[in-house]
Structure 1
Amino acid sequence: MATREIYTTTFDEDVQTTTECPDCDGSVRTATGETICEKCGLVLEDTQLDRGPNWNRYDEQTEKRTGAPLTPTRHDRGLSTEIGRYQDGNGNSLSSRKRRQLNRLRREQSRARWQSKAERNLGYGLGEVRRLSSSLGFGESLRDQACVLFRRAHAESLCIGRSLEAVAAASVYAACRCTGLGRSRTEVAARARCDLGRLTNAYNTMNCELELPAQPVSAIDRISKLATELEVSERVRRRALELAQAATEAGITVGRQPSGVAAGCLYLATERCGLCLSQREIATVAGVSPTTLRSRRDELLEI
């Protein structure tokens, strides 16, 4: 007997039926667990399936039903068991015999944690992504996106011939580019366990192979960070953003380094607002030379 012949009816919540109403001979509709008449509104059946969690009286206060949610930051999606050390699930202290038993279980679990070398590399790379994201002060959303990018790179065998630290750093920088966060490669490489060249090589490979939706870096994204590090007023920040917007509309930012344009806008804004900041100080924070800063300033003065 075929499977479709076994179940003559279904119990889905959004099922359309053509049964007539016994009172007014109107059409009957079944939705949200109730069978009602569309003409007179008579409720023929109100048995609703409760698909929610089945809390009992012992769980009304804690409402604990399952473990932690799935997370892309772990190689096993967070499904591994965490064995405690000194207390049980209820907070009671463990005896010395129980602690020795848990130590043996923890040792065996650590030995059987990795099913293969590829899984071990995935776990190490995701740990590096978490460390780098925490060091740069990123939120959970960007950290999870960087872990997803590292998983894709690992699945596409992009880690072969490259260090895991470089691919992890490239995943974090790619997440910044995809979300429009103004963080430079130099800043990410300063916190990573690889040099700038390896990070650039890994990012270029990921951008080409994975077809990342990376957004172009603009000077507007760099001004807020520079203004925060230089501790300028909100007036100077707004003036620098207006200059950067005018430079973008005029097209003078094409082929220019975003940090240099941001530094020129911020320096010109400090001059207009009467704030005394040297060119070298702004150029050092922006990571450019004073000559580049003056060149961008002169181009801004022309418009």
Structure 2
Amino acid sequence: MANEINKDENNEKISKKRGRPKGSHSLTAKELSDEEAVTAGPIKVCPSCGSTDILYDSERGELVCNNCGLVIEDEITDTGPEWRAFDSDQRNSRSRTGAPMKYTRPNKGLVTEIDLYNKDIRGVRIPSKRQAQLYRMRKWHKRASIASSSERNYLIALPELTRVSSYLGLPENIREQAALMYRKCVQNNLIRGRPIETVVQAVIYASCRKAGMPRTLDEIANISGLPKKEIGRAYRAISHELNLKIPLTDPISYVPRYINSLKLSGEAQEKAIELLKEAMKKGLVSGRSPTGVSAAAVYIAGALAGERRTQKEVADVAGVTEVTIRNRYRELKEQLNIDVNL
């Protein structure tokens, strides 16, 4: 009881020192909720008396020692929410910000859109006289949002980028990276003299290699319907002008795709990766197509695991010829001393 009385007296002394009313309410750092503790920061030690009994005044944005009355820190920015939440569901459902910025959208997702449903917020259909006005608003809104040539360029290129990425099964982070790379190409005038679609396929190819999920030029050319040589030429120009540090394609990165397409087990995948690691140590991969070496390793691993697949099946999945698989298979078998009969 005596301790509580002394504590109340200390609070009154501090209130007098800081000029607060006698009945003002402030929480100590120990009494803060989780959300307020994050706002107030870590519990500090008073540099004057060494006490850890720190008072946080949310109205003034100050940290005050509850023992000696020293103002440790002032003008603290309150980054917490400005609403009340009575449970975790309410706290998670409410947010101060809007949708995130996306480079795959022509306006980065930061422009207001007028939909085509002709209904108000309650779902009631808008009268016909009002619909004519909304039609004019949509028309001028669209014209204003694509005023510059670069915005018109994005309106053509980014939907094509999304389409090809969907066919290739690329995740969202690679799509965003490809879109950002394309915007850099537009800013550096690398689009001039080249078809927009060709540059789009080139940035997709570069982003896949940079993220460690490579796709071959043949795959991208088949989906886009563009010549493989033009995509490769645009890729070399972009990587040189933007100074992209793109690593060499690792044959191991193709193994999970081939294993999944051939419906092989995890044991076959582990053996294929082991074979490729040994081949890389002996320099059997340099100067050869990574897809061919990877396909040959998967072909051998399937036989070692008792899940044999034909050369034609592996060749169709990898996009190489059966002759390439046979040649790489003989090299791996001789150099790695693999005892397998196929």
Question: Normalization by structure 2: what TM-score?
Answer: 0.72
**What are the equivalent positions in structure 2 for 1:266-285 lying under 5 Å apart?**
266-285=298-317
Match status 1:34 vs 2:65: no
CA distance in 1, matches of 2:238, 2:157: 15
Alignment equivalent of 1:51, drawn from 49, 67, 79: 79
Is the contact made by 1:173 and 1:185 (CA closer than 8 Å) also made in structure 2? Answer: yes
Question: Matched residue pairs, number?
Answer: 280
Is the contact made by 1:73 and 1:130 (CA closer than 8 Å) also made in structure 2? Answer: yes
CA distance in 2, matches of 1:30, 1:154: 54
Is the contact made by 2:279 and 2:285 (CA closer than 8 Å) also made in structure 1? Answer: yes
CA distance in 2, matches of 1:189, 1:250: 33
| CA apart distance, 1:53 | 4.5
With over 3 angstroms needed to count, the CA separation of the structure-2 counterparts of 1:41 and 1:266, relative to structure 1, is: farther
Match status 1:106 vs 2:138: yes
| CA apart distance, 1:99 | 2.6
Per the alignment, residue 201 of structure 1 pairs with: 233
Letter in 2 for 1:54: E
Of residues 72-81 and 179-188 in structure 1, the stretch that sits farther from structure 2 once superposed is: 72-81
RMSD: 3.1
CA distance in 2, matches of 1:176, 1:41: 61
| CA apart distance, 1:253 | 0.5
CA distance in 2, matches of 1:262, 1:226: 9
Is the contact made by 2:205 and 2:214 (CA closer than 8 Å) also made in structure 1? Answer: no
Per the alignment, residue 174 of structure 2 pairs with: 142
CA distance in 2, matches of 1:30, 1:190: 67
Letter in 2 for 1:157: N
**What are the equivalent positions in structure 2 for 1:178-257 lying under 5 Å apart?**
178-257=210-289
CA distance in 2, matches of 1:206, 1:296: 32
SS at match of 1:35: strand
Per the alignment, residue 128 of structure 1 pairs with: 160
CA distance in 2, matches of 1:94, 1:41: 67
Identity of aligned residues (%): 34
Letter in 1 for 2:319: G
Is the contact made by 1:170 and 1:203 (CA closer than 8 Å) also made in structure 2? Answer: yes
Alignment equivalent of 1:80, drawn from 101, 111, 126: 111
| CA apart distance, 1:91 | 4.1
Letter in 2 for 1:251: G
Moved over 6 A (4+): 29-32
SS at match of 2:145: coil
Per the alignment, residue 190 of structure 2 pairs with: 158
Of residues 65-74 and 168-177 in structure 1, the stretch that sits farther from structure 2 once superposed is: 65-74
Is the contact made by 1:240 and 1:266 (CA closer than 8 Å) also made in structure 2? Answer: yes
| CA apart distance, 1:157 | 0.7
With over 3 angstroms needed to count, the CA separation of the structure-2 counterparts of 1:25 and 1:297, relative to structure 1, is: closer
CA distance in 2, matches of 1:251, 1:242: 14
Is the contact made by 2:299 and 2:308 (CA closer than 8 Å) also made in structure 1? Answer: no
Post-superposition CA distance 1:152-189 (Å, at most 9, x none): 11111111111100111111111101111132111122
CA distance in 2, matches of 1:67, 1:88: 21
Larger radius of gyration: 2
With over 3 angstroms needed to count, the CA separation of the structure-2 counterparts of 1:134 and 1:280, relative to structure 1, is: closer
Uncovered stretches (5+) of structure 2, i.e. residues with no partner: 1-39, 42-46, 337-342
SS at match of 1:112: helix
Per the alignment, residue 5 of structure 1 pairs with: none
CA distance in 1, matches of 2:167, 2:103: 19
Per the alignment, residue 6 of structure 1 pairs with: none
Is the contact made by 1:165 and 1:193 (CA closer than 8 Å) also made in structure 2? Answer: no
Letter in 2 for 1:146: A
CA distance in 2, matches of 1:191, 1:127: 14
Letter in 1 for 2:113: E
